Structure 1
Amino acid sequence: MTVSEPRTSGAAKGTGVAVLITNSQGEYLLHLRDDIEGICWPGYWALVGGSPEPGEPLADAIARELKEETGLTIALEEFATVAQRGAEDLGKGPIAVYQGHWDGDAHALPLTEGVMLHWFPVTTIPRLRVPPWCREVIGLHRAR
């Protein structure tokens, strides 16, 4: 897996989008994905995200996915691009990761996909079933 440094100009490149959301306590908002066949990372805790529609700018795609899946509309900025590797990632392209900040009750969000949203301190994340690309992005975020 390769994680690029954040971009400061130009559009992020990716075939998928995800958002790294933190709160004032330094916790990360993770999404428990449905454990059903046919989706990426079934039964894993992951960042909220999805795929852009044909011709849709990545920044618009992540804002749409975030709104559709959680009801949230928050300010987002480019963070990094992740090149996926591993069995679950075969045939998948890079993910453009954006970051945002929100202080709120994750369980009160109107979740439309997956099982639940939950805030996790970084110390708990190693004990969760999390895709390697998410772990890498969180590690990069923590290093800054």
Structure 2
Amino acid sequence: MPDKIIDVAVGVLLRPDGTVLLGNRPADKPWPGWWELPGGKLEPGESVLQALTRELQEEIGITVTQATPWVTYVHKYPTTTVRLAFCRVTGWDGEPQGLEGQLLRWVPIDAAQDVPQLLPATYPPLRWLQLPTVYALSSAGTPEQLPLFLNKLDEGLKAGIKLFQWREPGWPGGPHQPNLHQALKTVLTRCHAFGAKVLVNSIHPEAWWHEADGVHLRSHDAAGLTSRPTLASDKRVGVSTHNLAELEHARALEADFAVLGPVLPTASHPGHPGIGWEMFAQLNAQAGLPVFALGGQSAATLAHAQSVGGHGFAGIRGWIT
């Protein structure tokens, strides 16, 4: 008999200063003293956002004014299985306070995973929060166009781009060319100077993945794997997906994130209408990991992508406004 799943709405409260709110479990609850993100069980008939609003009012005394769905993640504890609907909360009235006797702490996102006694299911969302909301893809094209592309890259880095994919399938002579490898090294130097990470698309040699900050797997390359690529622990893995089966496989590979699309019509896929925002939202809700919207995306669509649960957007052209 399958485990009964308890549905829980979880608030990821984010302040503009880059901190997230954690609370410790009261003495009268399981795992007393352990730190977690605030939230609670859905009551019969409640939506996730309704439960979230009620729980945060009861638990920490705030009235939610801005919240969006994010990642829904199933976690098995020794005696319970919970389906955690994480929601990013960026607006509220009132100051959070521990109405159930719990302690509260605002913790920098990049240090939150180091908090002692974190509830096990709290680790994934704290790791996902370190992903930026914009995922920029390269479009250098040829050696002759490379200087112009590097100028665009510099502009993007100055504007705050922190996650970048090196993807040059149409490079003259093929995606394994030595001059393309040298171009990658130039991109790595520039990105790292701004604290940005670079993933290498799996169309390029595996040795390049290790030189960079990880790999982005094409969907059919991911399909040929049964486990996460063997990379250093600080390297990231992204996966291109187009449907639920590919999203489930990305999760099975323990990918850090997926890219899903095309959502809207694009110049690179003429005649393809895209899956649309409704289907994107449906698939995203079942993904179990952060998902970037791809296809017809730009800074202008970021807010909408997040409103339907996307982590952010991925794009070749519209990195910045």
Q: Which residue of 1 aligns with 2:33?
A: 43
- Cα separation, partners in 2 of 1:16 and 1:85, compared to 1, 3 Å: same
TM-score by length of structure 1 reads 0.76
Q: Which runs of 5+ in 1 are unaligned?
A: 1-13
Amino acid at match of 2:61: G
1:109 Cα offset (Å):
3.3
Q: Which residue of 2 aligns with 1:113?
A: 100
Larger CA Rg, structure 1 vs 2: 2
Give every structure 1 segment of 4 or more consecutive aligned residues whose post-TM-superposition deviation is greater than 3 Å: 102-105
Q: Which residue of 2 aligns with 1:100?
A: 89
Higher relative contact order (CA 8 A, sep 6+): 1
Q: Which residue of 2 aligns with 1:10?
A: none
Note if contact 1:23-1:103 (Cα within 8 Å) is conserved in structure 2.
Answer: no
Note if contact 1:17-1:50 (Cα within 8 Å) is conserved in structure 2.
Answer: yes
Q: Which residue of 2 aligns with 1:85?
A: 76
Amino acid at match of 2:125: V
Amino acid at match of 1:71: G
Between the aligned partners of 1:95 and 1:45, the Cα distance in structure 2 is 16
Length, aligned pairs only: 126
Q: Which residue of 2 aligns with 1:4?
A: none
User: Cα RMSD (Å) of the superposition?
Assistant: 2.4
Note if contact 1:32-1:114 (Cα within 8 Å) is conserved in structure 2.
Answer: no
1:1-144 matches, cutoff 5 A: 15-36=7-28, 39-74=29-64, 75-87=66-78, 90-101=79-90, 109-122=96-109, 123-144=111-132
Q: Which runs of 5+ in 2 are unaligned?
A: 1-5, 133-321
- Cα separation, partners in 2 of 1:59 and 1:124, compared to 1, 3 Å: closer
* Percent identical residues: 25
- Cα separation, partners in 2 of 1:16 and 1:124, compared to 1, 3 Å: closer
TM-score by length of structure 2 reads 0.36
Between the aligned partners of 2:85 and 2:27, the Cα distance in structure 1 is 24
1:103 Cα offset (Å):
8.7
Question: What CA deviation, in whole Å up to 9, does each residue of 1:32-69 have, x standing for no partner?
Answer: 11133xx2432111011101111111110011001111
